[in-house]
Structure 1
Amino acid sequence: MCQSLITKYNVSGPRYTSYPTVPYWDLDSFSLIQWKASLKRSFEESNTSEGLSLYIHLPFCESLCTFCGCHKRITKRHEVESPYIKAVLKEWSLYLELLGSKPKIKELHLGGGTPTFFSPEHLHYLISELLKDAELAEHYEFSFEGHPNNTTEAHLQTLYDLGFRRVSYGVQDYNLNIQKAINRIQPFENVKRATDLARKIGYTSVGHDIIFGLPFQTETDVIATINKTKSLMPDRIAFYSYAHVPWIKGNGQRGFSDADLPTPDSKRQQYETGKQYFEAAGYVEIGMDHFALKTDSLYKAIKTGTLHRNFMGYTASKTQAMIGLGVSSISDSWYGFAQNVKSNEEYYHLLEHNIIPVFKGHILNDEDLVIRKHILNLMCHFKTDWEDQSLVFKELPEVLVKLKEFELDGLLQFEYKQVIVTEKGKAFIRNICMAFDLLLQRKKPETQLFSMTI
């Protein structure tokens, strides 16, 4: 890849799991009443036809991985499991009361933290109680994130019996020196065991998460990790760029020096090399940072045009409403976003008083909704158009002028009332989306809010 393009476009930018992005939410005009109204509206519009998605955040980990940017609480005390599950179920009961009729669950995902920190018995209780007052949509998908070191056959069998068919394992990198730097010691044998167990039980999609741009990581390390990954042939692969954001996560990302990180050009080369290896093995690039075999639902979604992106990442089908349960979880009604409090203690306190534990959010205006559609189109399909008048907005001519720069660099091409990202431009998709981000342009951040795009 051209070094001048990397230098030109390696800037701080969002990953666009939402628009507006969290730092640009209008907190002053947001209220819990507005959030409830937006969710109720969305539910009434879409529950019968689509169903809704549930994301459950399970924040506990026994040790701190220093590459992690997620909200977590480090503890070895497993007595925290039961009170937390009871709180999540209380939160769900408050949402059920608000919705007023039986929800149809289309997607359910357990994230963290480490979901497999929880015992199989506690996970069984949590999921079975969640589903008691709901029905399942046709072709529903349940998934969870598993830690290869502690995901047992009992975990996998218990969740399979509850309807889970997809699991993703955090691999990161197999080089021991890198694992020590990020405090994630995880032998290949553990990943193989967990992968083989899932397939033996009947899981139809096993994913591996790999990170490039880690401290001390080289292109040779990436190739070695991919070669081991190919020996297991997971159904999908998330090939993430390490997001170095120590100003947000504090000492959690200070287990190594900035000087230990790969340079931007070597980091980008790690991705390009990885992409070549994955594609040679039969994987297809899906959206940003994802690869899947042609038998996986993520590939089928890209072919049918149903690929969607939200706070759970890329999903194989869209639901208009997504409810996040647990500390720090973010919910999405399409018309608004709401994030839960980040302290366990405050979360418990609000639920004890029958209050949905939201502490901030954003209600989307007409402009937000249009821009959101364009950014979703780009992130999921690498193209967007404005032939439909509903996708035209006042600043569109100014955005098209900005996009001309990307066209000159060979990163996109214009066709009749649409832009299409080129193969070369896929590496810069975050930058292209930023041309549509009117809020980012109107109020340039004074300090760095996002990770670097390259």
Structure 2
Amino acid sequence: MQQVKSLIQKYNVPGPRYTSYPTVPYWDEPSFSLEAWKQTLKRSFDESNRSEGISLYIHLPFCESLCTFCGCHKKVTKKHEMEQPYIQAVLKEWLLYCQLLEDTPVIKEIHLGGGTPTFFSPEHLTQLIQGILSKAEVAPQHEFSFEGHPNNTTREHLQALYDLGFRRVSYGVQDYNERVQKAIHRIQPYENVERVTQWAREIGYTSISHDLVFGLPFQSLDDVLQTIDQTKRLMPDRLAFYSYAHVPWIKGNGQRGFKDADVPKDDMKRQCYEEGKKHLLAHGYHEIGMDHFALPSDAMHQAFQQGALHRNFMGYTASKTQVMIGLGVSSISDSWYSFAQNEKQLEDYYARLALDEIPVYRGHILSNEDLIIRKHILNLMCGFETSWNEPASHFPELPQVLEQLTEMQQDGLLEISADTLQVTEQGKPFVRNICMAFDLHLKRKMPENRIFSMTI
């Protein structure tokens, strides 16, 4: 345990979570334009639509109350009359994309995120998905998923989305301790989670996921382990078990419902992870990627075993699509050759659509170097290994990268052979640090201010 503590102290530094490479702070916005985004999107779409389909992420930003642990883009309101105008706006954005792409999109994945997707009524969610699908084909092998709030997800929500082809639902649990729930302004008894989990199973959902968070204010090791033991009673098919990102200097008052001193410190957070992971493994879950666990029967675990796991702005997915279009305010799209983010303010988003413009306001065109490094980081994040036995996977700085990783190798976090890097079991919690060694943007220009959460 002493060795683990020393490694934590050594490697617990601010670092990206690598949902993209380059990470958002390093997007080269001066070289980006809406026209460049359209061109790269059309190129990628033409290359991949018929062979593998596309993914859609739809951001539904409204929440009735603010959860103070949340780092997502949201708008807190109790005005449900905002639902219909927003759905019409998203459908308008989708129409603009369909007109741009010309060929009929083949949809392989849809994910509804937020905010709180179940803020919207089942009728409005039905209207949204039917509107999307009316201009598309659905791939024979597809996965439609959504994030449900245990307190307001109704059986009608689950049935309506199931009838539209949704088979996966993710519930945000965080922690079952009432004091922790009060601190993060997210009161939801175990009974609420149990009810919506059972409803999903009864209706026929094939993959149910729970999100658990460690490092929350006032949270103890016992709280984490008890939450995991309660979770075992429901046995969700997959789990996200991740560290709370305490970044109040970015998120402002949204993460100031408690004092910094109330948040567990480095050693405690690492112990929560290590002991929590042991509990999850003992309960039959398998580690399949950074912060993610699944039962052997789940498609995510099978994708990991087959080397098909993928990671993008939707998180981990069981299959890859070259094109991911983000619809809705603040959504991020990925054409593989470029990233593009929508307007972050609702009023700006609506205004751009009123002008018949795709509401993108910033992005990044990936260079050849970016594409090579992105592939290495994806390999590490999705399979805990990468190799450079093909010319296309080599870049001039590779020797310096490997030299920088020598110390991590000496610490037992990874093994390097002639053309392969393999993350060890001990090194899996430090995969973000390993990816940072490949991150040339980060090396060339360290942020002047702290913008990343701690890696541990």
- Is the pair's TM-score, using the shorter chain for normalization, greater than 0.5? yes
In the alignment, what sits opposite 2:319? 317
Per the normalisation by structure 2, the TM-score is 0.99
Alpha-carbon distance in structure 2 between the residues aligned to 1:422 and 1:305: 17
After TM superposition, list the pairs within 5 Å mapping 1:27-38 onto structure 2: 27-38=29-40
In the alignment, what sits opposite 1:39? 41
Question: What secondary structure does 2:357 align onto?
Answer: coil
After TM superposition, list the pairs within 5 Å mapping 1:21-170 onto structure 2: 21-170=23-172
Alpha-carbon distance in structure 2 between the residues aligned to 1:3 and 1:131: 51
In the alignment, what sits opposite 1:197? 199
Question: Equivalent of 2:373, from 371, 374, 396?
Answer: 371
In the alignment, what sits opposite 1:389? 391
Task: Name the amino acid aligned to 2:351.
Answer: H
In the alignment, what sits opposite 2:346? 344
Give CA deviations for 1:238-292 in whole Å, capped at 9, x if unaligned. Answer: 0011001111110000000110011101101101111101110100001100000
Alpha-carbon distance in structure 1 between the residues aligned to 2:433 and 2:439: 10
In the alignment, what sits opposite 2:5? 3
2:178 aligned with 1:176, yes or no?
yes
After TM superposition, list the pairs within 5 Å mapping 1:204-243 onto structure 2: 204-243=206-245
Alpha-carbon distance in structure 2 between the residues aligned to 1:411 and 1:233: 31
Task: Name the amino acid aligned to 1:241.
Answer: S
In the alignment, what sits opposite 2:305? 303
Number of aligned residue pairs: give it.
Answer: 454
Give CA deviations for 1:411-444 in whole Å, capped at 9, x if unaligned. Answer: 0001230110000000100000000000000001
Alpha-carbon distance in structure 2 between the residues aligned to 1:138 and 1:314: 20
Alpha-carbon distance in structure 1 between the residues aligned to 2:69 and 2:321: 31
In the alignment, what sits opposite 2:415? 413
Alpha-carbon distance in structure 2 between the residues aligned to 1:400 and 1:3: 25
Task: Name the amino acid aligned to 1:114.
Answer: T
Task: Name the amino acid aligned to 2:26.
Answer: Y
Question: What secondary structure does 1:48 align onto?
Answer: helix
Alpha-carbon distance in structure 2 between the residues aligned to 1:448 and 1:316: 33
Task: Name the amino acid aligned to 2:192.
Answer: N
Alpha-carbon distance in structure 2 between the residues aligned to 1:358 and 1:249: 22
Question: What secondary structure does 1:306 align onto?
Answer: coil
Per the normalisation by structure 1, the TM-score is 1.00
Aligned residues with identical type, % of pairs: 70
Q: What is the deviation of 1:109? A: 0.2
Question: What secondary structure does 1:38 align onto?
Answer: helix
In the alignment, what sits opposite 1:436? 438
Alpha-carbon distance in structure 2 between the residues aligned to 1:12 and 1:269: 19
Question: What secondary structure does 1:435 align onto?
Answer: helix
Alpha-carbon distance in structure 2 between the residues aligned to 1:46 and 1:138: 15
Question: Equivalent of 2:400, from 390, 393, 398?
Answer: 398
Alpha-carbon distance in structure 1 between the residues aligned to 2:377 and 2:225: 32
Give CA deviations for 1:170-217 in whole Å, capped at 9, x if unaligned. Answer: 000000000000000000000000000000000000000000000011
Q: Which runs of 5+ in 2 are unaligned?
A: none
Q: Which runs of 5+ in 1 are unaligned?
A: none
Question: What secondary structure does 2:358 align onto?
Answer: coil
Q: What is the deviation of 1:449? A: 1.1
When the two chains are superposed, the root-mean-square deviation of aligned CA atoms in Å is 0.5
Task: Name the amino acid aligned to 2:210.
Answer: H
Alpha-carbon distance in structure 2 between the residues aligned to 1:44 and 1:363: 18
In the alignment, what sits opposite 2:248? 246
Q: Which runs of 4+ in 1 moved over 2 A?
A: none
Task: Name the amino acid aligned to 2:233.
Answer: S
Alpha-carbon distance in structure 1 between the residues aligned to 2:416 and 2:334: 32
Question: Equivalent of 1:359, from 343, 358, 361?
Answer: 361
Q: What is the deviation of 1:446? A: 1.0
Alpha-carbon distance in structure 2 between the residues aligned to 1:16 and 1:138: 30
In the alignment, what sits opposite 1:287? 289
Alpha-carbon distance in structure 1 between the residues aligned to 2:79 and 2:305: 45
Task: Name the amino acid aligned to 1:448.
Answer: R
Give CA deviations for 1:291-335 in whole Å, capped at 9, x if unaligned. Answer: 000110000101111100000000000000000000000000000
Alpha-carbon distance in structure 2 between the residues aligned to 1:189 and 1:415: 50
Alpha-carbon distance in structure 2 between the residues aligned to 1:263 and 1:34: 44
Alpha-carbon distance in structure 1 between the residues aligned to 2:264 and 2:374: 33
Question: What secondary structure does 1:47 align onto?
Answer: helix
